[in-house]
Amino acid sequence: MQPVRKAVIPSAGLGTRSLPATKSIPKEMLAIVDRPIVQYAVEEARAAGIELFIFVTSRGKTSLEDHFDRQFELYHTLQHRGKSAQLAEARGSELAAGRYAFVRQPEPMGLGHAVWCARQFIGDEPFAVLLPDEVFLADTPPLKQMLRAHASTGGNLIAVREVPADMTGRYGILDPAFDDGQLVAAKGLVEKPAPEVAPSRLSLIGRYVLQPEVLDELDRQDAGAGGEIQLTDAMARLIGRQPFHGVRVEGERFDCGDRAQLVAANLAFSLRRPELATEVRNAAERILMETALNDAGEPEARVA
Ligand code: UTP
């Protein structure tokens, strides 16, 4: 079986749910604590052994490109001022020369189109796709969990998770043929089905290991749900021709394109940071208590 060495990180969307921040800051560059969202995807891919990072970007995303580059002036200044911890942090987000590439998607024509734009870099080998706005807090990074499972399934593998029945219309949904509790053999995939017609509640959660034949399917450039070129539709056409499984990955997931979940991710990640945890916990408890008292209409009882 060919190893999975390349990862595509689609980052060319408009981020309309995060306006007005995303007028001038790419959604993928909004921060969770002190790292941009996209850095979590890169760290996850790196932990899974990925050797080439292919970012799909668009106009207005140059800060994302700069983030992974070397910044001589900054490094020099930090060194000169003896700020070695900050220097190590800044260097930690650098990617090795020749190990990353940027390809432009001229228009946000959908996730399938974004992946198709990376086809020359992917070539004829299996590859991973990580949606950077899906961020996971997990002991074992999700892509690493998936590559372990992939060693036994081969073919195509997508991360899945149950969503409430009334939310199927927001996600790609897997139609299960067989479910052993962790692995789910797929007999179909549907993009954003209404709850009444959804074949299950198993949603696709932004991590994929795909065979290169999906690029031939994307060549057709068929528009699907919402008029966009959907990765889900191209993947669905591989089912029956190649092994195709969903895998339940462990860990807490945050869809950081959603404002409430971005706030929750900041709270969860900062509570995992020893140097921040106490201060953040105290602030969160105080805010929650004040809000509860205010909501209960007892302003005189407010905590000082
Ligand atoms: P989303 O649908 O969550 O991102 O796509 P979006 O379209 O930017 O967000 P909203 O709904 O308008 O707020 C998931 C990922 O796929 C990328 C996005 O950048 C995001 O990281 N994407 C999406 C592309 O690269 N190109 C596209 O045409 C669409």
Task: Give residue-wise pLDDT tens across range 55-65.
Answer: 999 999 999 99
Does residue 61 sit within a domain? yes
CA–CA separation, 57 vs 65, rounded Å?
9
Question: Does 294 have pLDDT greater than 90?
Answer: no
Does residue 303 sit within a domain? no
Q: What is the extent of the structural domain holding 211?
A: 6-258
Does residue 54 sit within a domain? yes
Residue 300: alpha-carbon gap to chain centroid:
45
Backbone angles phi, psi at 85, to 5 degrees: -65, -45
Question: Domain total for the chain?
Answer: 1
Q: Is 16 in the pocket of ligand 1 (CB under 6 A)?
A: yes
C-alpha 70 – ligand 1 centre gap (Å): 27
Strand-pair category, 244-248 with 183-191: antiparallel
Q: Which of 42, 47, 57 is nearest to 7 (CA)?
A: 42
Does residue 296 sit within a domain? no
Does residue 274 sit within a domain? no
Provide the CATH number for the domain around residue 238. 3.90.550.10
CA–CA separation, 251 vs 137, rounded Å?
6
C-alpha 253 – ligand 1 centre gap (Å): 17
Does residue 175 sit within a domain? yes
Is 209 within 8 Å of 157 (Cβ atoms)?
Answer: yes
Mean of per-residue pLDDT scores for the chain:
94
Ligand 1 atom having least distance to the Cα of 206: 14
Does residue 294 sit within a domain? no
Is 14 within 8 Å of 108 (Cβ atoms)?
Answer: yes
Give the percent of the chain with pLDDT over 90.
Answer: 89
pLDDT bin (cut points 50, 70, 90) of residue 295 is confident
User: pLDDT per residue over 167-202, tens digit each?
Assistant: 999 899 999 999 998 999 999 999 899 999 999 999
C-alpha 102 – ligand 1 centre gap (Å): 16
Does residue 272 sit within a domain? no
